[in-house]
């Protein structure tokens, strides 16, 4: 795992090495072990190294090909690099034992077709000095980030936007349409980023760049069809085999590998397979909260005892919140997921013991673990209701008592009714997001209200590619392409890499994920297959407990100790800051939340994260 940057000047102007170094220095946290740049005329690449495989200097990047024609910078890991080296590179003398050198050889010999055989997570850039052409590529699920900026004369890329905005040509300006979409999703859907003229390469895509422009091709797609015809026994056997393979692949490292352990079925299952494969000491890590309904510490300790791990635990309260808030001020994309803060905390805890961790992300998206899947079961059974009736029911639900605990009955009912009367894609987004269309009209200043209708229409457009699937697969596909790609994996990457920690996700092994996607719904729904496979291996109390997200008791804190801070942040404007939100609308949200008339924690946090990101525009 590393950080990469690059500058290409298409019309011969030499790359300024000092600018390239400055860009690279902004992402030093991603690779604190080493840093190097390569400059040749109008092209320059930079690399911040986190040494995981081949810890010697031979594995350093940028790395040049045998003939000197190609240079590569690469962020990620190729888990099957040894197999690919044996299959395609027999007779070649390698200078290192790194996966980077194998990847370089494969790309230069076989081109982008080899990506179909690569098992791993990656964002890479390959410069062809002869053809004066750049290749960018990302892994199937977009686990590793890759952002870019371009005009007619210059092309820039980097692992994080904070590196791009160090270049003197890049302006600190907001993308207005993207910010409206952020308020719908709590993140900015790709390829937008929130920054004007800065984009991200979507998951499973490669981009070919030269002086004539950029051509993007999707080399891997989510595929739920054709369905596999197999019994549940056969499916369970194959799932078990593929899960074992996925975990084994992710234990390839020349440094210790640990486990992020929440005590839920997903991370505990990953830990069980780790235990079956390796006999060495295994460190696990968790975060807990004093507020009981948010606290998973007991389950994490139970899982650690069953797995026999050396468990490391840390409490997270107001004091820790304020400490990690400083990292939120440095986020270069707007991300309204409050669990980012405790994810920073558990990542820092883990980084004190190991350089690599495995976690359970990806299971909820593939196997229907989120509450919205349960809600959809009921929504699919209801007759098609007029939208006006759904709006009326939602208004009535506001009369229910408000609770600020974790995932309470009133929260479920109110959330469910927000989506009634909407078509599937819009309904799902109403459940997952913070603001619906009518709320946005009340919230936004006039300039942005006009953009909100366009933004909501794009919700259905983005989900159109899944419209021919059954409701479960359609929902799974939409959540993977939107929520997982732009929120869950971004959160995990940014939190872990802040502390030079590599996070790996076995459930998103491409062989395992493709198998799961093509299973019939009845094998997947409610994590049925995973529960069946793990029954008897881990305690039933872990298998059968309800899904619990990595949430903070933010509702309570925003009514108490954080109220004054949140009010000052949201209401006061910085000189030069663009007005997006009406002050009176924010004051109403704050007052409703503090008085107990409404639970506005999601809405308020979405606005807080946006406001903190906006400050970077006027620094």
Question: Which of 194, 218, 242 represents a domain boundary (last residue)?
Answer: 218
And the tokens for 301? Answer: 């300790």
And the tokens for 349? Answer: 């805890």
Contact yes or no for 432/483 (Cβ under 8 A)? yes
pLDDT band for position 286 (50/70/90)? very high
For residue 413, the model assigns a pLDDT of 76
In a domain, 393, yes or no: no
- Helix, coil or strand: residue 2: strand
For residue 397, the model assigns a pLDDT of 58
How many independent structural domains does the chain possess?
3
Chain centre to alpha carbon of residue 572:
30
Q: What pTM, to 2 d.p., does this model score? A: 0.95
Helix residue ranges, H only, 117-252: 161-164, 176-185, 232-249
Task: Please say if the pLDDT value at position 520 is more than 70.
Answer: yes
For residue 618, the model assigns a pLDDT of 57
In a domain, 398, yes or no: no
In a domain, 432, yes or no: no
- Residue 359's alpha-carbon distances to 132, 237, 269, 281, 595, in angstroms, are 40, 22, 10, 17, 38
The set of long-range contacts for 84-91, using a CB threshold of 8 Å and a minimum separation of 24, is 84/114, 84/117, 84/118, 88/114
592/608 Cα distance (integer angstroms): 16
Task: Please say if the pLDDT value at position 399 is more than 70.
Answer: no
Chain centre to alpha carbon of residue 39:
32
> Which range has the worst mean pLDDT, 262-276, 407-421, 547-561?
407-421
For residue 325, the model assigns a pLDDT of 93
For residue 390, the model assigns a pLDDT of 58
> Taking residues 433-456, what's their average pLDDT?
91
Same domain, 196 and 67: yes
Strands 257-260 and 283-288: parallel
> Taking residues 47-52, what's their average pLDDT?
96
The set of long-range contacts for 301-306, using a CB threshold of 8 Å and a minimum separation of 24, is 301/263, 302/263, 302/539, 302/541, 302/542, 303/261, 303/263, 303/267, 303/268, 303/271, 303/538, 303/542, 304/261, 306/268, 306/538, 306/539, 306/542
Higher per-residue confidence, 419 vs 540 = 540
In a domain, 224, yes or no: no
Percent of the chain topping pLDDT 90: 80
592/527 Cα distance (integer angstroms): 37
At 480-513, the pLDDT tens digits run 999 999 999 999 999 999 999 999 999 999 999 9
For residue 534, the model assigns a pLDDT of 98
For residue 395, the model assigns a pLDDT of 61
> Taking residues 169-191, what's their average pLDDT?
96
At 332-351, the pLDDT tens digits run 999 999 999 999 999 999 99
And the tokens for 177? Answer: 């349409």
Strands 502-504 and 356-358: parallel
619/610 Cα distance (integer angstroms): 15
For residue 207, the model assigns a pLDDT of 98
And the tokens for 541? Answer: 């109390």
235/214 Cα distance (integer angstroms): 42
450/260 Cα distance (integer angstroms): 43
Contact yes or no for 132/211 (Cβ under 8 A)? yes
- Helix, coil or strand: residue 389: helix
488/504 Cα distance (integer angstroms): 13
Same domain, 213 and 254: no
pLDDT band for position 573 (50/70/90)? confident
For residue 418, the model assigns a pLDDT of 80
If we measure between CA atoms, which residue out of 136, 140, 116 comes closest to residue 126? 136
Same domain, 117 and 209: yes
Task: Please say if the pLDDT value at position 410 is more than 90.
Answer: no
Q: Tell me the range of 385-389, 412-416, 453-457, 528-532 where mean pLDDT is highest.
A: 528-532
Same domain, 190 and 316: no
In a domain, 384, yes or no: no
pLDDT band for position 458 (50/70/90)? confident
Same domain, 306 and 206: no
- Residue 173's alpha-carbon distances to 443, 531, 618, in angstroms, are 22, 48, 9
> Taking residues 5-20, what's their average pLDDT?
97
Same domain, 92 and 236: no
Mean pLDDT of the chain: 93
pLDDT band for position 169 (50/70/90)? very high
Same domain, 241 and 202: no
Contact yes or no for 331/161 (Cβ under 8 A)? no
For residue 30, the model assigns a pLDDT of 97
Task: Please say if the pLDDT value at position 303 is more than 70.
Answer: yes
Same domain, 305 and 209: no
And the tokens for 225? Answer: 């069809």
At 539-557, the pLDDT tens digits run 999 999 887 777 788 999 9
Same domain, 9 and 144: yes
At 197-207, the pLDDT tens digits run 999 999 999 99
For residue 91, the model assigns a pLDDT of 87
DSSP secondary-structure letter at 401? P
For residue 424, the model assigns a pLDDT of 87
101/94 Cα distance (integer angstroms): 7
For residue 82, the model assigns a pLDDT of 96
> Which range has the worst mean pLDDT, 38-52, 106-120, 414-428?
414-428
Question: Which of 543, 564, 583 represents a domain boundary (last residue)?
Answer: 543
> Taking residues 247-257, what's their average pLDDT?
96
> Taking residues 463-487, what's their average pLDDT?
95
And the tokens for 165? Answer: 């905005």
Same domain, 143 and 270: no
253/272 Cα distance (integer angstroms): 19
User: Can you give the residue range of the structural domain that contains 509?
Assistant: 232-367+492-543
529/367 Cα distance (integer angstroms): 8
Q: CA quadruple 508, 429, 547, 262: dihedral positive or negative?
A: positive
For residue 615, the model assigns a pLDDT of 84
For residue 366, the model assigns a pLDDT of 98
In a domain, 377, yes or no: no
Helix residue ranges, H only, 57-141: 81-88, 99-110
For residue 414, the model assigns a pLDDT of 74
Measured from the Cβ of residue 257, the count of other Cβ atoms closer than 10 Å reads 21
Identify the CATH number of the domain in which residue 22 sits. Answer: 3.60.20.10
In a domain, 357, yes or no: yes
Q: Residues of 360-370 as b/e, b for ≥16 C-beta within 10 angstroms? A: bbbbbbbbbbb
> Taking residues 246-260, what's their average pLDDT?
97
Identify the CATH number of the domain in which residue 523 sits. Answer: 3.40.50.620
In a domain, 54, yes or no: yes
For residue 445, the model assigns a pLDDT of 93
Same domain, 275 and 189: no
Same domain, 40 and 155: yes
* Phi, psi for 43 (deg, rounded to 5): -125, 140
At 141-163, the pLDDT tens digits run 999 999 999 999 999 999 999 99
> Taking residues 557-586, what's their average pLDDT?
90
Question: Which of 543, 561, 585 represents a domain boundary (last residue)?
Answer: 543
**The CA-based dihedral angle spanning residues 193, 194, 196, 197, taken in that order and rounded to the nearest 10 degrees:** 0
């Amino acid at each position: 795992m590393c950080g990469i940057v690059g500058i290409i000047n298409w019309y011969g102007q030499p790359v300024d090495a000092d600018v390239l170094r400055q860009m690279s220095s902004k992402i030093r946290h991603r690779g604190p072990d080493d840093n190097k740049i390569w400059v040749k005329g109008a092209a320059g690449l930079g690399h911040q190294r986190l040494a995981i495989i081949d810890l010697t200097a031979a594995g350093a990047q940028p790395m040049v090909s045998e003939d000197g024609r190609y240079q590569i910078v690469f962020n990620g890991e190729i888990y099957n690099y040894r197999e690919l080296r044996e299959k395609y590179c027999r007779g070649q003398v390698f200078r290192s034992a790194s996966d980077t050198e194998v990847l370089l050889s494969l790309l230069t010999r076989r081109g982008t077709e080899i990506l179909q055989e690569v098992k791993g997570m990656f964002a890479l850039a390959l410069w062809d000095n002869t053809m004066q052409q750049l290749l960018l590529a990302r892994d199937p699920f977009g686990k590793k980030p890759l952002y870019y900026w371009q005009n007619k004369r210059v092309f820039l890329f980097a692992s994080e936007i904070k590196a791009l905005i160090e270049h003197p040509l890049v302006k600190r300006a907001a993308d207005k349409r993207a910010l409206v979409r952020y308020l719908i999703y709590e993140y900015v859907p790709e390829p937008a980023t929130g920054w004007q003229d800065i984009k991200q390469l979507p998951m499973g895509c490669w981009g070919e760049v030269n002086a004539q422009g950029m051509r993007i091709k999707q080399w891997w797609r989510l595929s739920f069809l054709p369905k596999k015809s197999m019994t549940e026994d056969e499916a369970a056997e194959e799932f078990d085999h593929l899960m074992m393979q996925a975990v084994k692949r992710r234990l390839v490292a020349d440094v210790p590998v640990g486990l992020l352990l929440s005590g839920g079925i997903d991370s505990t299952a990953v830990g069980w397979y780790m235990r079956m494969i390796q006999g060495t000491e295994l460190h696990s890590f968790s975060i807990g909260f004093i507020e009981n309904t948010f606290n998973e510490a007991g389950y994490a300790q139970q899982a650690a005892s069953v797995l026999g791990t050396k468990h490391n635990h840390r409490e997270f309260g107001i004091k820790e919140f304020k400490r990690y808030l400083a990292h939120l001020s440095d986020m270069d994309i707007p991300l309204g997921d409050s669990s980012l803060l405790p994810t920073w905390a558990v990542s820092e805890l883990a980084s004190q013991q190991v350089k690599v961790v495995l976690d359970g992300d990806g299971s909820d998206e593939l196997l229907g673990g989120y509450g919205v899947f349960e809600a959809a079961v009921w929504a699919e059974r209801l007759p098609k209701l007029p939208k006006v009736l759904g709006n009326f029911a939602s208004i009535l639900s506001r009369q229910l008592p408000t609770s600020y605990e974790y995932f309470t009955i009133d929260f479920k009912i109110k959330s469910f009714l927000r989506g009634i009367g909407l078509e599937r894609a819009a309904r799902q987004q109403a459940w997952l997001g913070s603001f619906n269309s009518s709320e946005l009209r009340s919230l936004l200043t006039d300039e942005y209200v006009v953009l909100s209708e366009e933004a909501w229409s794009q919700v259905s457009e983005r989900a159109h590619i899944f419209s021919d699937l059954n409701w479960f697969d359609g929902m799974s596909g939409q959540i993977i392409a939107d929520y997982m790609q732009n929120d869950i994996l971004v959160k995990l990457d940014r939190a872990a890499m802040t502390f030079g920690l590599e996070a790996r996700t076995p459930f998103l092994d491409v062989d395992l994920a493709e198998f799961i996607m093509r299973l019939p719904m009845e094998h997947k729904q409610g994590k049925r297959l995973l529960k069946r496979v793990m029954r008897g291996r881990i305690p039933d109390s872990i298998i059968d407990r309800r899904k619990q997200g990595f949430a903070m008791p933010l509702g309570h804190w925003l009514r108490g100790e954080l109220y004054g801070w949140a009010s000052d942040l949201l209401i006061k404007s910085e000189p030069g800051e663009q007005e997006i939100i009406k002050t009176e609308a924010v004051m109403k949200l704050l007052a409703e939340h503090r008085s107990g008339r409404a639970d506005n924690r999601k809405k308020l946090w979405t606005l807080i994260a946006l406001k903190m990101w906006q400050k970077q525009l006027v620094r």
